[in-house]
Chains A and B, each alone.
Chain A
Amino acid sequence: MSTEQTVNTIASDRFELERADREAMQQECEHFEQPQAACIEALKIVQRRYGWVPDDAIPAVAEALGLPPANVEGVATFYSLIFRQPVGRHVILLCDSSSCFLNDYDTLRAAFEEKLGIGYGQTTEDGRFTLLPVCCLGACDRGPALMIDDDTFGPVRPEDIDELLETYS
Chain B
Amino acid sequence: MNATIDRLRYRSQLRQPASERHEDSHPLTWRLREDNESIDLAEYQRKNGYVGTQRALTEHSASEVIDIVKEANVRGRGGAGFPAGVKWSLTLQGEDIPRGYLVCNADEMEPGTFKDRMLLEQQPHLLIEGMIIGAYANNSRFGYIFLRDEYRAAAVSITRALNEAREAGWLGKNIAGSGFDFDIALHTGAGRYICGEETALLNSLEGHRANPRDKPPFPGQSGAWGKPTVVNNVETLCNVPGVLQHGADWYQQLSGGRSDDGGTKLYGVSGQVERTGLWELPIGTTGEELMALAGGMQSGHELKAWLPGGGSTGLLLPEHLELPLDFDSIGKAGSRLGTGLLTVISRQQSIVALLRNLEQFFARESCGWCTPCREGLPWTVKVLQALERGEGEPEDIELLQQLGKGLGPGQTFCAHAPGASMPLTSALKYFRDEFEAGVARPHTAVEEA
Instruction: Select from chain B the residue with minimum beta-carbon distance to A39.
Output: B207
Asked whether any CB of chain A lies closer than 8 Å to the CB of B46, the reply is: no
Asked whether any CB of chain A lies closer than 8 Å to the CB of B230, the reply is: no
Asked whether any CB of chain B lies closer than 8 Å to the CB of A116, the reply is: no
A162–B112 alpha-carbon span in the complex (Å)? 27
Asked whether any CB of chain A lies closer than 8 Å to the CB of B111, the reply is: yes
Asked if residues B343 and A152 are in contact (CB atoms below 8 Å), the reply is no
Asked if residues B205 and A141 are in contact (CB atoms below 8 Å), the reply is no
A5–B406 alpha-carbon span in the complex (Å)? 48
Instruction: Return chain B residues, CB-CB under 8 Å to A97.
Output: 111-112, 311, 357, 361
Q: Which residues in window 75-110 of A have CB below 8 A to B?
A: 75, 78-82, 93, 96-99, 101-103
Given contacts A80-B191, A164-B4, contact A37 B361 (CB under 8 A): no
A11-19, A121-129, A142-150: which lies at the interface: A142-150
Asked whether any CB of chain A lies closer than 8 Å to the CB of B446, the reply is: no
Instruction: Select from chain A the residue with minimum beta-carbon distance to B269.
Output: A141
Asked if residues A140 and B341 are in contact (CB atoms below 8 Å), the reply is yes
Asked whether any CB of chain A lies closer than 8 Å to the CB of B307, the reply is: yes
Instruction: Return chain B residues, CB-CB under 8 Å to A37.
Output: 205-207
Asked whether any CB of chain A lies closer than 8 Å to the CB of B296, the reply is: no
Instruction: Return chain A residues, CB-CB under 8 Å to B150.
Output: 81, 93, 134, 137-138, 147, 152
Asked if residues B9 and A151 are in contact (CB atoms below 8 Å), the reply is yes
A156–B193 alpha-carbon span in the complex (Å)? 23
Minimum C-beta distance from A92 to chain B (A): 13
A79–B225 alpha-carbon span in the complex (Å)? 21
A115–B79 alpha-carbon span in the complex (Å)? 39
B81-89, B168-176, B272-280: which lies at the interface: B272-280
Asked if residues B357 and A101 are in contact (CB atoms below 8 Å), the reply is yes
Q: Which of A40, A96, A152 contacts B9 (CB 8 A)?
A: A152
Asked whether any CB of chain A lies closer than 8 Å to the CB of B292, the reply is: no
Instruction: Select from chain B the residue with minimum beta-carbon distance to A47.
Output: B190
Asked if residues A138 and B116 are in contact (CB atoms below 8 Å), the reply is yes
Minimum C-beta distance from B26 to chain A (A): 19
Q: Which residues in window 194-239 of B have CB below 8 A to A?
A: 204-210, 224-225
Minimum C-beta distance from A37 to chain B (A): 4
Q: Which of B10, B188, B278, B349 contacts A102 (CB 8 A)?
A: B349
Asked if residues B9 and A102 are in contact (CB atoms below 8 Å), the reply is no
A166–B8 alpha-carbon span in the complex (Å)? 14
Instruction: Return chain B residues, CB-CB under 8 Å to A142.
Output: 10, 276
Q: Please, how many residues of chain A have a CB less than 8 angstroms from a CB on the other chain?
A: 53
Minimum C-beta distance from A29 to chain B (A): 10
A31–B1 alpha-carbon span in the complex (Å)? 38
Q: Which of B8, B113, B343 contacts A153 (CB 8 A)?
A: B8
Q: Which of A81, A143, A164 contacts B190 (CB 8 A)?
A: A81
Instruction: Select from chain A the residue with minimum beta-carbon distance to B148.
Output: A138
Asked whether any CB of chain A lies closer than 8 Å to the CB of B268, the reply is: yes
Minimum C-beta distance from B287 to chain A (A): 17
A136–B311 alpha-carbon span in the complex (Å)? 10
A71–B206 alpha-carbon span in the complex (Å)? 12
Instruction: Return chain B residues, CB-CB under 8 Å to A139.
Output: 10, 114, 117
A155–B206 alpha-carbon span in the complex (Å)? 36
A163–B204 alpha-carbon span in the complex (Å)? 38
Asked if residues B190 and A82 are in contact (CB atoms below 8 Å), the reply is yes
* Binary A-proximity of B246-285 (CB < 8 A = 1, otherwise 0): 0000000000000000000000111110001110000000
Minimum C-beta distance from B35 to chain A (A): 18
Given contacts A78-B209, A156-B8, contact A141 B114 (CB under 8 A): yes
Asked if residues B307 and A167 are in contact (CB atoms below 8 Å), the reply is no
Instruction: Select from chain B the residue with minimum beta-carbon distance to A33.
Output: B225
Asked if residues A167 and B112 are in contact (CB atoms below 8 Å), the reply is no
Asked if residues B109 and A138 are in contact (CB atoms below 8 Å), the reply is yes
Minimum C-beta distance from A150 to chain B (A): 5
Given contacts A99-B271, A135-B109, contact A140 B276 (CB under 8 A): yes
A158–B224 alpha-carbon span in the complex (Å)? 45
Asked if residues B190 and A79 are in contact (CB atoms below 8 Å), the reply is yes
Asked whether any CB of chain B lies closer than 8 Å to the CB of A114, the reply is: no
Minimum C-beta distance from B409 to chain A (A): 22
Instruction: Return chain A residues, CB-CB under 8 Å to B188.
Output: 41, 44
Instruction: Return chain B residues, CB-CB under 8 Å to A101.
Output: 354, 357
Instruction: Select from chain A the residue with minimum beta-carbon distance to B8.
Output: A153
Minimum C-beta distance from A6 to chain B (A): 25
Asked whether any CB of chain A lies closer than 8 Å to the CB of B97, the reply is: no
Q: Which of A153, A155, A166 contacts B2 (CB 8 A)?
A: A166
Q: Please, could you name 9 A-B residue pairs with CB atoms under 8 Å apart, sorted by A?
A: A39-B207, A79-B210, A81-B150, A82-B191, A135-B111, A138-B108, A140-B114, A141-B277, A153-B5
A-to-B contact residues, CB < 8 Å: 31-41, 43-44, 71, 74-75, 78-82, 93, 96-99, 101-103, 134-143, 145, 147, 150-156, 160, 163-164, 166-167
Besides A98-B112, A139-B117, A152-B150, 10 new A-B residue pairs in contact (Cβ under 8 A), listed by A number: A34-B225, A36-B207, A75-B208, A99-B271, A102-B349, A135-B361, A141-B269, A141-B270, A142-B276, A154-B8
Pairs A-B, 5 closest by C-beta atoms: A80-B191, A79-B190, A81-B191, A163-B4, A39-B207
